[in-house]
Structure 1
Amino acid sequence: MRVTQNMLSNQMLRNLSSNYGKLDQYLEQLHTGKKVRRPSDNPVVAMKGMGYRAEVSKIEQFKNNASEADNWFENTDEALDKMTKALHRIYDLAVQGSTGSYNEEDRINMMSEVKQLKEHVIDIANTSVGGKYIFNGRQTDQPPVNKDGSFNNLYNNDSVMIEVAPGTKLAVNAIPNRVFNADNNDLFSTIDRFITALENSDQAQINESIGDIQTHTDQVVNARADIGARMNRLELIIDRLDHQEVVAKKMMSDNEDVDYEEVITDLITQESILRASLAAGSRTIQPTLLDFLR
């Protein structure tokens, strides 16, 4: 086959174009840090990347859910702690009131303090976080306790469930019935009976209130212990999610991110090849007819 000057020129241009294309590819990888710019560059890498990104996105969503669950637990634990302290104080007043060393005026003063403590416990029972009442089951848009201490739905046993891992849901609230109800007596009715007993200096009722208040205190402490156990489990789940996120991001990086040392080496090599191609082309493609006659 006869090789013409035009064929040499076209072949050289094709080779130069190919070299420039590879040079552009390495420069793009160096600038972006990614192996591919579009799915057509490497469909296999692109498809795997979509799967890895979906996995990372799913883990991040579970971490957000876990953060919300942790917020519920932290606020519930703090509220139950304050409620326990208030009930301890009411219990101390009941013990003091049961002794014969306090007169009627002393009991009236105790009654005033117990009334204030009752208001304080009502405020705690109506704790809301982000506009959601944490002690009213799934009816988070309604306060569980009215100002007079009556309940909207004391026997509400609904759990607020949050999915914190694939197939794993945690109840993040304290069940109202298990916090405010003991031996079929609600907490505020018990406090009201104690207030009435102090007002009337009813020694027998004051003595009875000691045991009732202690029972309610134990109920709140048990509810807090249950919240603490779920908090510990959530910490383990968050730790596992953190590990899964690290692994998923590493796999995504290994699939998509370039090896800078390798890319820089390939870039330098390609630059050398391009220079060599230009030098060879300048010798092969003669600019004038006189060059053939020399």
Structure 2
Amino acid sequence: MELHENKRRGVAVAEFIFLIILWASTILLFCLIFRSRSIKEFWRKSSTLAIVFAFIFLNAVHQIIHFTSWTLYVSQASPSQIFGNAEPVFGITSISIQSFYDCFTIVLFVQRIAIIMDPAKNRRTYNRILYGAATIACCSIFLWFIVAYSKVIDFSVNMVPAECYTLTCTNPFRVERSALNARTALSITNVVVGIVFLVVFLSRKTIMRTNVAKVNQLTRVLFFERLFLEVIPLTVDSIFIAQTGVSIGLYIGPFGAIGCTTEAFCFVLVYYIVFKPPRKAGPGHSSTQ
């Protein structure tokens, strides 16, 4: 029994260290991106894409702190009572940031569909409506989490049971599943809207400017990454928890964190590759238009 527990603890620590490294690598990619272009230029390419990246960066910083605290706890390097009090707050914050990211990736899909259908149309008012609706939805979800979890969080006790190495097995998230259900619903919505985007993208042969075409290609990459790295594992985990009470979180990371983190890293990496500025021609070379 003790050998099995040590194995589970070792797997959890290895996963958390991997996640920390991957999020740190994502931040490094952001540094490389903004070393070669200004934030204004980045915003001009696609304001929605810029917002999505802002939430990825914010999530990266938060998750490095979050997973570091998990690593210290699982390796028994931090007091369990202090971690048990902090973890539910970390978890709610993490899922809230991810929910903002989810809402604006849905906006990105919807905008790309509209641009493919009619590239010439001015959509300033349309975009403002989408941004407003997404912001209201995100804030409503965040307030919903605060109200729901304020009823089940008790800072006078340790809310992380023994042998618990994932967010889903902490006491507040076992009692109140609002955050987990919201994440699953947003993930499924992303897939549905993403499928519509993919169908429109493949069926229309509209000629577009290079930057617009690149953003469309990047959005297609985002859809497949979210589907296979995040949505499918999260949905399967939610079904397992609902039907059997057993989570596969130990094998896909805390609440699918391995897939979510890999998806964010790959998305930023693909952006860096696609929009990487061309090298300047040397003195003995001439450039062609």
Q: Into which bin does the TM-score normalised by the smaller protein fall?
A: 0.3 to 0.5
More helix by share: 2
TM-score normalised to structure 2 length: 0.39
More strand by share: 1
TM-score normalised to structure 1 length: 0.39
Q: Rg larger in 1 or in 2? A: 1
Tell me: higher relative CO, structure 1 or 2? Use CA pairs within 8 A at least 6 residues apart. 1
